[in-house]
Structure 1
């Protein structure tokens, strides 16, 4: 106990402080001293002693006021306070109890009595310190998730608002840990001022860490309906966004995303689900009960597809299908695009639309990429057709996938010369330099680069040239409507002009009928791909469907 316990003695008379220390010296405590109430408050906040022994009557801030302030501070509100005083009137003791004093010792004090009382308080304080460590966030001193779970059991009509600082991870990437910690501490202090401005009922703030906080409202009289809850969350978010946090003469603008629930059962899980939904959908706040059923259904479907993907990988039922790409100038099939399919046990074939979103949330996605690459090389090493494989941002950002692809290319140099990697050109790649380096590496082995879905939403012509793309695949949303939408046809013609000047080959996707096929050829696009040519299949179709129909 001796090297663990710290006692703060607050008395304006030095001899009184010395007398207390002399009485307790054999206990081996570490002592801190303050000569008035204000100094005592500051030392207590800074050092968080295990026990405070305080005099009642002092100049400036007296003992009663000092204790009141200590009890209002979350850092010291649980610290035991023993008051030593010559006051023995009943009213004085009531006043001290109301201020938050735990016990009294009368002056002149008995050394044995003081020692025994201090031993008891220090013992309880150390136990309380362990409880605080378990239920308080060490950075801000706010109650944590453990405390929230305990408190939820005591509320009959809780309303829980769970929110996260936007772009918190980016703060860590840009600033030092000390700066981010300072931002989070100041944010917690600001909340203590902002919440009362928005909240009509009793509340408690919690800090989970990593920029995530919660507010629990005790709606015992059930005055908070959904409309008022939305108003509270909106006002809180607005007030936070209107202010800023200053750290080391730098100002930081803070915004939050919020999810809330008002159903007692599973309230924390539901609020978290709402928060994650709001973050994914880029919404400022979401009420859990509005989306919970749909989200849970989606989660269940996701789990079901993950199970089916896992089983398909184990049973080799992830199959590469190949869709022909038709040369409009030579009227022959010269290329194929590899497209993944999942084949169920009963033989049902599923397109990636059904299973790939679930797979991307797991490690199975990269098994799928590797499987399609392996199957494609196995099919095309024995012929002279060109072939293309789709790669996503997720693939490129993984070191081991890039390594696997480069190894496969180096092991099969002749086949690799007929390979094209298709990328969707968007702005979501977190490290563009990684993509540029990878493109440079594979092109040195003769691999071509195609930009897929060009013209759909985000199209950056500068980046297109920067990647040294060889092939431009025009998005199907433009191609499939060209027979009745002149604006889209004009866009396609413009893309074709640009591609010609940039020395890029063009492929029209989603060529679904003869009329569109004819327009594609009239524009001068070199290649066509779509169901009018042929549907994807496990083998290699060598004749287009429209030629088979003509026979």
Structure 2
């Protein structure tokens, strides 16, 4: 399949709104568009286009600029107020460049220059399909990250201990589950949380000595109690953190509250523990909690009992037990080692049962309830844990059936990797192996180095570890602020020694929301007031930022101290111009995706040209990233970009103090 065929195959799913006031041009171009798109809806002016957008499912808007009643850009603005993510292309003549900056502000995805040429249109289509695919992948990746974050923040308790069994740290989830404030836990011994600890003293000492002496991971279900004496069952994984000599520095525990399991779930665990080759199918009534909230507890319980009876009649031969786990959730189990049926046979039978259930109604007296269920299956000693994780995946992905084998192992691997990273971070901080690399930034008019960007690294086991491997884990605890302190301290040492050069330091908007980071920066700047003018903070945009007032106050405060501000990766986000208004930066760092092909890509060239003109008009300096060769450098210099950074002028490396 050719590249063009692949593009058409992708765009044939699009409904396009095409707005053009020239009737002849509209009819001619519509014929071409119909080769590429599923449906082409036309309008002769902006008002008509806006109405047709409201009344139809539109995936892409293509519009002329100059039209009666409402011009193309005005129409796009109103459409984006309705649907901010809509993709839009503008048909423009060469003499309409005054509209380019306004179009960029609106988030237009591309320009089709008049007269219309099919080759040009296909090139634009390539870019927009590529961008749409990237958006799709980004949304999928964002979904995964949110799932992981949700599991960590809401489902996992984290605690740290010293070798004397005393708590040194607990997270908010731990405090929430045990109903204690942190100050009442820190410093207490672990037995303080264990139910009937006096009678279990020998067992506690035994498992603790095993961890301390053998330095092994400990995994167990522990019966605990909260502040009010309520029983809590905890699934705990405890691991020692060792120094380079194999000595225990501290112990860290990841815990899950499994109290809900310890009635029918406790019986379920007992069954699974004794089974040689357990098989588990988790079955859940869809939207049961919403139904309970709407119709009340009594009707919800009626549905649970009726469905359990119905499910028992449908179960495949050989299923040993059914466990009612509450909230419309059920587990069915068997031991495959003592069963004539195979794993695959049970899976096929359950899929058929699911289809039958989903076409059924439960008679609950007052009305008939249309019931649908989701199912998750697994086998082996970790079958139940796999299906629990699998159920979350089913809900997040809006699926209905999942084979969940191996999911717990993946979660454990992630946890183990994060523990290893925490160990590396602690060791690197203690041994002063958090280091900074510096990449030069040159002045285009003189090719003289005027600034260095600070880039954090870890030196570990004779290797250099990039921030992508450790920063996200560091942000979850105390290590991030320590890394920030190390980077700031070294950056000011560089400034003090090399006064001819400024230093740039990266920081994300989401980091600035953290008070500990802001206070650390204020303190460092206050101690080095005379050198603050040599420092630039490069702000990386973050879509999840919420406290804009905090960001603006921070920027105002550090600018008053003499610090300059740059917006990093400018041209890649969706709210850059809003940031410009709020932050009033001194520099714009042009995103590398615009720069790397600027010498051969007309679109990148025109976008950068517009940004540079805008920046100069507002007395903002520009910096081009990813300047990798002479051609790129000549192009950005020709466009009037003030500074350049990239491998053409130097790779990141250490600077000797």
TM range (shorter): 0.5 to 0.7
Cα deviation, 1:427-476, whole Å, max 9, x if unaligned, reads: 21132222222122212212222111222254442133212222211111
Q: How does 1:463-502 map to 2 (within 5 A)?
A: 463-502=579-618
1:387·1:420 contact (CA, 8 Å) conserved in 2? yes
Going from structure 1 to structure 2, the CA distance change for 1:477 and 1:133 (only over 3 Å counts) comes to same
1:198·1:235 contact (CA, 8 Å) conserved in 2? no
Q: 1:455 aligns with which of 558, 571, 576?
A: 571
Is residue 316 of structure 1 aligned with residue 316 of structure 2? Answer: no
Shift of residue 214 of structure 1?
5.4
Which residue is 1:192 aligned to? Answer: 304
Aligned-partner Cα distance in 1 for 2:494–2:559: 21
Is residue 159 of structure 1 aligned with residue 159 of structure 2? Answer: no
Cα deviation, 1:83-133, whole Å, max 9, x if unaligned, reads: xxxxxxxxxxxxxxxxxxxxxxxxxxxxxxxxxxxxxxxxxxxxxxxxx98
Shift of residue 300 of structure 1?
3.6
Which residue is 2:468 aligned to? Answer: 353
Going from structure 1 to structure 2, the CA distance change for 1:237 and 1:371 (only over 3 Å counts) comes to farther
Which residue is 2:397 aligned to? Answer: 283
Aligned-partner Cα distance in 2 for 1:537–1:219: 60
- Aligned CA RMSD, in angstroms, stands at 4.5
The answer for unaligned runs of 5 or more in structure 2 is 1-229, 234-257, 316-320, 336-340, 361-372
Aligned-partner Cα distance in 2 for 1:482–1:194: 67
1:134·1:146 contact (CA, 8 Å) conserved in 2? no
2:443·2:643 contact (CA, 8 Å) conserved in 1? yes
Aligned-partner Cα distance in 1 for 2:281–2:419: 27
Going from structure 1 to structure 2, the CA distance change for 1:289 and 1:478 (only over 3 Å counts) comes to farther
Q: How does 1:417-432 map to 2 (within 5 A)?
A: 417-432=533-548
Going from structure 1 to structure 2, the CA distance change for 1:184 and 1:372 (only over 3 Å counts) comes to farther
Deviates more, 1:313-322 or 1:297-306: 297-306
Shift of residue 338 of structure 1?
0.6
Shift of residue 224 of structure 1?
7.7
Going from structure 1 to structure 2, the CA distance change for 1:516 and 1:310 (only over 3 Å counts) comes to same
Q: TM-score, normalised by structure 1?
A: 0.56
Query: Bigger relative contact order, structure 1 or 2, given CA contacts below 8 A and separation 6+?
Result: 1
Going from structure 1 to structure 2, the CA distance change for 1:524 and 1:481 (only over 3 Å counts) comes to same
2:597·2:604 contact (CA, 8 Å) conserved in 1? yes
Aligned-partner Cα distance in 2 for 1:315–1:508: 36
Going from structure 1 to structure 2, the CA distance change for 1:192 and 1:374 (only over 3 Å counts) comes to farther
Aligned-partner Cα distance in 1 for 2:417–2:232: 37
1:162·1:272 contact (CA, 8 Å) conserved in 2? no
Q: 1:505 aligns with which of 617, 621, 626?
A: 621
Aligned-partner Cα distance in 1 for 2:489–2:359: 53
Shift of residue 233 of structure 1?
9.4
Which residue is 1:363 aligned to? Answer: 478
Aligned-partner Cα distance in 1 for 2:584–2:421: 37
Q: 2:266 aligns with which of 135, 149, 162?
A: 149
Q: How does 1:123-272 map to 2 (within 5 A)?
A: 144-147=260-263, 148-154=265-271, 157-159=278-280, 161=282, 192=304, 201=315, 204-206=323-325, 215-218=330-333, 260-272=376-388
- Higher Cα Rg, which structure: 1
Shift of residue 301 of structure 1?
3.3
Is residue 528 of structure 1 aligned with residue 528 of structure 2? Answer: no
Shift of residue 361 of structure 1?
3.7
Secondary structure of 1:433 counterpart: helix
Going from structure 1 to structure 2, the CA distance change for 1:344 and 1:134 (only over 3 Å counts) comes to closer
Q: TM-score, normalised by structure 2?
A: 0.48
Aligned-partner Cα distance in 1 for 2:436–2:448: 22
The answer for unaligned runs of 5 or more in structure 1 is 1-131, 136-141, 169-179, 240-255, 542-551
Is residue 331 of structure 1 aligned with residue 480 of structure 2? Answer: no
